Amino acid sequence: MCGAPKQGGALAGIDLSTQTVIQGQVWHDGAPVAGAYVRLLDGTDEFTAEVVTSPEGEFRFFAAPGTWKVRSLAPVGKGERVLDAGVGLNETTIVID
Amino acid sequence: MSRNDVLVTVDWVQDNLGTPGIVLVEVDEDTSAYDGGHLEGAVKLDWKQDLQDPLRRDYLDKTAFEALLSSRGIGNDDTVVLYGGNNNWFAAYAYWYFKIYGHRDVKLMDGGRKKWELDGRPLSKDAVARPATQYVASEPDLSIRAFRDEVVAAIGTKNLVDVRSPDEFSGKILAPAHLPQEQSQRAGHVPTAINIPWSKAANEDGTFKSDEQLATLYGEQGFDDSRETIAYCRIGERSSHTWFVLSELLGKKNVKNYDGSWVEYGSLVGVPIEK
């Protein structure tokens, strides 16, 4: 499997003592954005993965410890956020102005 | 072969919705996107359910491929326009697959589902049924498919293009980062492979970069035009995207897609790996 799975939902079965999970929501104008494209870029700004947000605007990545950029692209606009992730759960929100 | 023979724009597709002789096909690994709304008249192909052999790790044999296309109402003379999610990864895989079985006229919709959605173009939830056909496939054209022994033999002699992300190439992660990082195979890459991520060939909206940009990209990254080429990724769909760029857009000769890719190579006993 290589396609992006359905976003959102519980982390059942995911071992947070080994996985570096980056997850959150995309917001615009006070509401979550469904169907937004969210991509994860590495420390050199190179593409690592892309998912489409759930009806609740959620996204989730499985990365590795380090600095990452999460960028969202939607018909309403673009937003991005840089974060330092560690092993375990790393949550962030991307706001599209 | 040039860009205009193999690639159509979203405008062209919108203008040709419902045109007889043109069959739109959405290809995805997860077809819930199709079920939630697809291009009007498009049929769906599920990468796993429809395009993979249900038992062995392989694509469908000729008879099964003929039965699949016949049931979807695709004829030998139809112009097939493929599109999908994931920046057209699986649509590019299907393009390569249709070429293996000799379909005459097949094209990709530039930008795929993402470009269509970002433009706010119409989607339909209507069920699509096309009358069955009697599709006849050619014998598989293995000149565009590489197998594992060929990859090992290509070390140091052919262009080995690893199209995964830099962190997968270096072994920092084992799969694209939308998937849990628990895999059985070893991390790293085939020795002498050059890392030219598929994503460098695409714009953020999923469309391909211009021929000039693409020619510059591969030249700068050490692609040797005098050598034959094998592209690989993890399971062979991102490398289909790069195979499409090299073979169909840039017209390079002797380019093969290694669809066994890292899931196979990284599990082989005794083969060399670099990290």
- CATH number at A87 reads 2.60.40.10
- By C-alpha distance, which of A59, A49, A6, A72 is closest to B238? A49
What is the number of structural domains in chain B?
Answer: 2
Question: Is the per-residue pLDDT at A2 higher than 70?
Answer: no
Taking the CA of residue B241 and the nearest CA in chain A, the distance in Å comes to 13
Identify whether residues B119 and B151 lie together within a single domain: no
What is the number of structural domains in chain A?
Answer: 1
Identify whether residues B25 and B48 lie together within a single domain: yes
A-B interface: how many C-beta pairs under 8 angstroms? 100
- By C-alpha distance, which of A89, A53, A15 is closest to B85? A53
* Under 8 Å between Cβ of A37 and A65: no
3 state SS of B265 = helix
Asked whether residue A45 is domain-assigned, the answer is yes
| Whole-prediction pTM | 0.94
**What was the pLDDT predicted at B181?**
79
Identify whether residues B136 and B148 lie together within a single domain: no
Asked whether residue B270 is domain-assigned, the answer is no
Q: Which phi and psi (to 5°) does residue B243 adopt?
A: -55, -40
ipTM for the whole complex = 0.85
Identify whether residues B200 and B248 lie together within a single domain: yes
Among the listed residues B233, B249, B250, B263, the single catalytic one is B233
Give the separation between CA B247 and CA B144, rounded to whole angstroms.
Answer: 9
* Domain coverage including residue A83: 20-96
Average pLDDT over chain B reads 95
Q: Which of B90-94, B101-105, B116-120, B171-175 has the lowest mean pLDDT?
A: B171-175
Question: Is the per-residue pLDDT at A1 higher than 60?
Answer: no
**What was the pLDDT predicted at B180?**
80
Last residue of a domain, one of B94, B120, B140: B140
| CB pair distance less than 8 Å for B89 and A52 | no
Region B62-91: mean pLDDT is 97
Identify whether residues B136 and B174 lie together within a single domain: no
Give the separation between CA B206 and CA B208, rounded to whole angstroms.
Answer: 7
- By C-alpha distance, which of B177, B215, B180 is closest to B196? B215
Taking the CA of residue A31 and the nearest CA in chain B, the distance in Å comes to 18
* Domain coverage including residue B97: 3-140
Strands A58-63 and A20-28: antiparallel
Question: Is the per-residue pLDDT at A48 higher than 70?
Answer: yes
Last residue of a domain, one of B82, B105, B140: B140
Structure token digits, residue B238: 């991102």
| Cα pseudo-dihedral B150, B268, B232, B51, rounded to 10 | 100
Q: Is B134 exposed, middle or buried (0-12, 13-18, 19+ CB in 10 A)?
A: exposed
